[in-house]
């Protein structure tokens, strides 16, 4: 078991470093970053919808023994993030009443939702990598490559969303990296549960899918509608489709 744990931890370390891809954005001109932010948010919306409907939900229904529970957990993921956003919005407004405008860091609640969702998503990635390496090194390597390719567009999108929500570029990069470390917890859970983690993964995937659907539909789509003009709207639509296509192409690697 230890011989499988070491490469699994190394693999998760490499995947976690993918979150640092946001450092590329740090080198961009800030004005340029703001101009293309609506495109990156569009890609993120497509990727979140695509991940939920192309990967997580089909896998959950295929692997789970109780389809009704899968449906319930998808709805539970949506309602949990609805309640979480309600709380964050209330806390955000309450804080504005107590603090002077110049001293209050105005972080949109979607930023915290993205971080919470990313922690859960990386936790599931860690479980998947741990499970794959327990089965065999070859499957472990293949799974790691698939997740790495999945993480690149996702982490760019997450970085863009955190900046969009009000985080500074440096803090967005740091928070993105810290949330990526939850994958190590996922690996630990996989090896600790050993024989039972396989039955839990589809239900975790279903809950995560509900999270992604809520964020994309409730927070990102309304932001997309703020973009006006025929050319920018077409570019935005193409970016959403690109996010969906990237998720679809990853099916080849599964």
Q: Is it the case that residue 201 has pLDDT exceeding 80?
A: no
Q: How confident is the model at residue 103 (pLDDT cuts 50, 70, 90)?
A: very low
State pLDDT tens for residues 41-86: 888 888 889 888 988 899 889 888 899 999 999 999 899 888 877 8
Query: What pLDDT shows up at residue 194?
Result: 58
- Indicate yes or no: pTM above 0.75: no
The tally of CA atoms less than 13 A away on the side-chain side of residue 111 is 20
State pLDDT tens for residues 132-189: 787 778 778 877 887 786 677 677 777 777 877 788 878 888 888 888 889 999 898 8
pLDDT > 70 fraction of the chain, expressed in percent and rounded: 81
Q: How confident is the model at residue 95 (pLDDT cuts 50, 70, 90)?
A: very low
Residue from 113, 122, 116 nearest 15 by CA: 122
Query: What pLDDT shows up at residue 211?
Result: 85
Residues in the chain: 254
Residue from 175, 152, 150 nearest 165 by CA: 175
Q: How confident is the model at residue 120 (pLDDT cuts 50, 70, 90)?
A: confident
- From CA 24, how far away is CA 216, in angstroms rounded? 24
The per-residue pLDDT of the chain, averaged, comes to: 79
Residue of higher predicted confidence among 23 and 202: 202
Query: What pLDDT shows up at residue 249?
Result: 84
């Amino acid at each position: 078991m230890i011989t499988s744990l070491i490469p699994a931890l190394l693999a998760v370390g490499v995947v976690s470093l993918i979150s640092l891809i946001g450092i590329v954005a740090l080198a961009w001109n800030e004005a340029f970053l703001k101009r293309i932010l609506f495109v990156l948010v569009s890609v993120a919306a497509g990727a979140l919808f695509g991940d939920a409907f192309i990967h997580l939900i089909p896998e959950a229904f295929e692997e789970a023994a109780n389809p009704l529970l899968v449906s319930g957990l998808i709805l539970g993921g949506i309602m949990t993030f609805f309640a979480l956003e309600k709380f964050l919005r209330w806390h955000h407004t309450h804080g504005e009443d107590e603090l002077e405008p110049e001293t209050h860091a105005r972080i949109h609640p979607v930023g915290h939702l993205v971080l919470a969702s990313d922690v859960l998503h990386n936790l599931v990635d860690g479980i998947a990598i741990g499970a794959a390496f327990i089965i065999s090194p070859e499957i472990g390597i293949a799974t790691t490559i698939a997740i790495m390719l999945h993480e690149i567009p996702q982490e760019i999108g997450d970085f863009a969303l955190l900046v969009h929500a009000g985080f500074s570029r440096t803090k967005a990069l740091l928070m993105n990296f810290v949330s990526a470390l939850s994958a190590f917890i996922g690996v630990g859970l996989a090896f600790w549960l050993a024989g039972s983690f396989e039955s839990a993964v589809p239900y975790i995937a279903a809950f995560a899918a509900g999270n992604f659907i809520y964020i994309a539909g409730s927070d990102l789509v309304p932001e997309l509608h703020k973009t006006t003009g025929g050319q920018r709207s077409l570019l935005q639509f193409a970016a959403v489709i690109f996010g969906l296509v990237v998720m679809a192409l990853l099916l080849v690697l599964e």
